[in-house]
Amino acid sequence: MALKLNLFLYILSIAIFAEMAAGVDLFKPVDHVCGFPDNRNFTSGSEYENNLNFILHDLSNKTPATGFGLAYAGGVENSNRAYGRAQCRADVSTADCKTCISEMVRWVRGKCPFYKSAFAWFQGCLLRYSDDDFFGKIDDPNSLAFFILEKENLSNIAPLEKVEGLLNQLAGEASASKELFARGEVKLAGSKNLYGLVQCTLDLSPADCKTCVDGLVSIVPKIYGNGTQIYTSTCTLQYLLYAFFNA
């Protein structure tokens, strides 16, 4: 369900109240966006479709080895040039990464059959493609962000300050790591723990990664109350009451 929310600044958001078991399905589609920002289309059998099929095949083959891939096809001055980026969560195995990317490519092509651009994400991987060169450019979370809200309320056991403290710590750790990835947990009242994870796409610089994640952290107070996952195509943030990542 797509909703437009005014969170002081315009944010296009997906609000899905999810109730998930501790065993997360890495290949479960979360959502997708077709044609953002201007809904450009291509026709069947066109040069752009050939270029798009090439980069998606290339990404499916080369992304699992390192968990990240960039691909492009078409001439530099060609309006039919296609750009693609795929990334798996850094704690996902090579085999699971391969399955995730392959499933996501098939899924998003079915969802966005004739759009020149699309962004899709599963629990274990992300994919974006476009006829615009977006490599190394940060998404503005105040212009485009997607979030999933869990059903379980955590505001009564996890003060906002504690959540922000964990996320700010992970933002610093991720931007300082070569994987641009960090995960961690913090103890809450009773026997509960809060688990957090942040990750940036590997075409960002460490400084841009920090900027991207900080932008997501700034959204948290505006939607705080439930466990949440927030996505842009260049960085992600999650904080939940169960261990959803691999050790």
Q: What one-character-per-residue DSSP string does the chain give?
A: -EEEEEESEEEEEE--EE---SS--TT-EEEEEESTTT--B--TT-HHHHHHHHHHHHHHHHHHHHTEEEEEES-TT-TT-EEEEEEE-TTS-HHHHHHHHHHHHHHHHHHSTTBS-EEEEESSEEEEEESS--TT----TTTB-EEEEEEEE-TTTS-HHHHHHHHHHHHHHHHTSTTSEEEEEEE-STT-EEEEEEEE-TTS-HHHHHHHHHHHHHHHHHHTTEEEEEE-SSEEEEEESS--S--
Amino acid 23: pLDDT = 52
Torsion angle of the four alpha carbons 106, 110, 113, 117, in this order, in degrees rounded to the nearest 10: -60
- 2 CB-contact burial (10 Å; exposed 0-12 / middle 13-18 / buried 19+): exposed
Q: d(Cα 231, Cα 122) in Å, to the nearest integer?
A: 11
Catalogue all structural domains in the chain, each as residue range(s) with its CATH number.
Answer: 29-130 (3.30.430.20), 139-240 (3.30.430.20)
pLDDT tens, position by position, 133-171: 999 999 887 667 888 888 878 888 899 999 999 999 999
Q: What is the predicted pLDDT for the residue at 38? A: 85
Closest C-alpha to 209, from 247, 243, 182, 227:
182
CA distance linking residue 208 with residue 91, whole number of Å: 22
Question: pLDDT category, 18, cuts 50, 70, 90?
Answer: very low
Residue 109: Cβ within 10 Å count? 17
pTM here is 0.88
Nearest-angstrom CA–CA distance, 232 and 201: 10
Confidence of residue 247 (pLDDT cuts 50, 70, 90): low
Question: Is pLDDT larger for residue 180 or for residue 26?
Answer: 180
